[in-house]
Amino acid sequence: MNHLPNFSSEQTLQLKNKGLLPSSTRALLVRYRWFVLFVILPTILALLYYGLIASDQYESQSSFVIKAPGQRSGQTSTLANLIQTTGLPGAQDETDEVKGYIRSRGVLSDLSKMVDVHRTYATSNADWLSRFPAPWKADKIDNLFKYYQDMVSADQEHDTGMVVLRTKAFTPQEALLLNRSLLDLSERLVNRLNDRAQERAIREAQNRVTEAENRVRRVRIELAQFRNAQDLIDPEKQAGAILDVISKLTIEKAALQSQLSVMQRVAPKHPSLPSIRARMNAIDAIIGGQTGRVVGNDAAIASKLGRYEALMVEQQFATQLLTSASATMEQARAEAVKQHFYLQRISEPNLPDIADYPKRLKKILTIFGAAISLYFIGWMIVVGILEHSPDD
């Protein structure tokens, strides 16, 4: 790749005499200047940064599962039992919501109320490349959120359903505090999801109860208005009482009729016969009047009984509907309690005593590998161009 200018022997001798030719070391550097520039120099810079400058980062780790209804174990449960019962297809939606919440911008706002996230990551104890904000970025909320996403992770193990929460910071105490706070916020989220589901189920049942109550109230008002307008308390009972009176008067009239028949045969001119006939006529008039109250015209009880019976049937149906809706609401409350999901902690956040990051040797080797790969790719491109270029 190196194409040094061709000097004649006389020119070379003149350069040597003037001391302008490089030494053997400088000659090597000049000859392999591109390798030094693109491979050696980045590797040296990586060695200096990760070996002397890069700040230690500590990682706190905890794990939890979202347990479905009926799977909440006692405190004596072993770790094996907990993990064995964490295959929760019914709780996968809740698990996904918790994971999404941990990685969301909303949790950064909630977390900042418990921990000074900005101060934690913008600490002067961290090196200028590791801390927030990076030299080429502004101190903005959006950049802080992206930085937070690099420092916090929540990964689920598919075979057990367990979520592993990892938080990184520049001190062990801050990593622990971040992890513990996020775990508490996740528990609050699960409780809010439970409350929301319970409120929705109970609200629907309560709406049905309210509708049934309004229906009962409306029917009772209509029934009261009907009674006041028609001067009737209970048409069925009132009609029955009238029919009892008519029945008694009919019996009394029949007795008088029998007595009148006997007296007309025995003593046709008996002085009590006119009074018996008068009593019979009076009874007929009374029977006719009472019968008119029951049937025979629009003001009779019989014409009002249909509306009354319809209102009574509506009242009974509305009352039964209210009873059923009340029972449904109580059942919904009981079911809502049974359907609660729980965040079960498998392991509490730990206080790290060894800096897990940065992976210094891994970073240096990665930079060296990337640099030398790019160098050889560039070398092959240049060689290809030179081989296909026309000779001058």
pLDDT at 115 over 90: yes
pLDDT of residue 316: 85
CA dihedral 179, 185, 190, 196 (to 10 degrees): -170
Most confident by average pLDDT, 191-200, 290-299, 370-379: 370-379
The model's pLDDT over 20-79, given as tens digits with 9 standing for 90+, comes to 445 676 677 677 788 888 888 999 998 898 888 889 999 999 999 998 765 544 444 444
Tokens of 236: 């069925």
Cα(206)–Cα(201) distance, integer angstroms:
9
pLDDT of residue 381: 87
What DSSP string describes 69-120? Answer: TT-PPPTT--HHHHHHT---GGGHHHHHHHHHHHTSHHHHHHHHTTS-HHHH
Cα(101)–Cα(99) distance, integer angstroms:
5
| Mean pLDDT (the chain, rounded) | 79
Categorize the per-residue pLDDT at 298 as very low, low, confident or very high, splitting at 50, 70 and 90.
Answer: low
Categorize the per-residue pLDDT at 179 as very low, low, confident or very high, splitting at 50, 70 and 90.
Answer: very high
What number is the average pLDDT over the span 319-336?
80
pLDDT of residue 370: 92
What number is the average pLDDT over the span 84-109?
77
pLDDT of residue 336: 67
Query: Is the overall model pTM greater than 0.95, yes or no?
Result: no
Coil vs helix vs strand at 160: coil
pLDDT at 369 over 80: yes
Most confident by average pLDDT, 35-44, 173-182, 249-258: 173-182
| CB-based contact 66:190 (threshold 8 Å) | yes
pLDDT of residue 67: 84
Range with lowest mean pLDDT among 17-31, 80-94, 177-191, 326-340: 80-94
pLDDT of residue 83: 43
Q: What is the largest CA-CA distance in the chain?
A: 187
Tokens of 353: 């005593």
What DSSP string describes 269-297? Answer: T-TTHHHHHHHHHHHHHHHHHHHHHHSSS
Phi, psi of 203 (to 5 degrees): -65, -40
pLDDT at 100 over 50: yes
- Other Cβ atoms closer than 10 A to 177: 20
Residue with the larger pLDDT of the pair 117 and 331: 117
Coil vs helix vs strand at 62: strand
Residues 6+ apart with CB under 8 A from 251: none
pLDDT of residue 72: 47
Cα(370)–Cα(390) distance, integer angstroms:
32
Portion of the chain with pLDDT greater than 90, in percent: 27
The model's pLDDT over 303-315, given as tens digits with 9 standing for 90+, comes to 566 676 777 788 8
What number is the average pLDDT over the span 182-199?
89
Q: 133: cis peptide before it, omega within 30°?
A: yes
Most confident by average pLDDT, 298-307, 308-317, 340-349: 340-349
Alpha helices in the chain (DSSP H): 9-18, 24-31, 33-35, 41-48, 79-84, 92-102, 105-112, 117-121, 141-151, 172-230, 235-266, 273-294, 301-338, 360-388
pLDDT of residue 61: 96
pLDDT of residue 297: 56
| CB-based contact 349:179 (threshold 8 Å) | yes
Q: Which domains does the chain have, with CATH numbers?
A: 9-53+360-388 (no CATH), 58-204+341-347 (3.30.1890), 206-337 (1.10.287)
Cα(39)–Cα(352) distance, integer angstroms:
35
pLDDT at 105 over 50: yes
Residue with the larger pLDDT of the pair 286 and 9: 286
| CB-based contact 146:220 (threshold 8 Å) | no
What number is the average pLDDT over the span 246-251?
81
Tokens of 387: 């081989």
Residue with the larger pLDDT of the pair 288 and 133: 133
Phi, psi of 167 (to 5 degrees): -130, 135
| CB-based contact 64:88 (threshold 8 Å) | no
| CB-based contact 388:101 (threshold 8 Å) | no
- Other Cβ atoms closer than 10 A to 165: 24
Residues 6+ apart with CB under 8 A from 197: 336, 339
Q: 358: cis peptide before it, omega within 30°?
A: yes
pLDDT of residue 175: 95
The model's pLDDT over 138-169, given as tens digits with 9 standing for 90+, comes to 999 999 999 999 999 999 988 888 999 999 99
Range with lowest mean pLDDT among 39-48, 168-177, 378-387: 378-387
One-letter amino acid of 201? A
Categorize the per-residue pLDDT at 18 as very low, low, confident or very high, splitting at 50, 70 and 90.
Answer: very low
| CB-based contact 30:22 (threshold 8 Å) | yes
Categorize the per-residue pLDDT at 237 as very low, low, confident or very high, splitting at 50, 70 and 90.
Answer: low
Cα(313)–Cα(138) distance, integer angstroms:
74
Residue with the larger pLDDT of the pair 105 and 334: 105
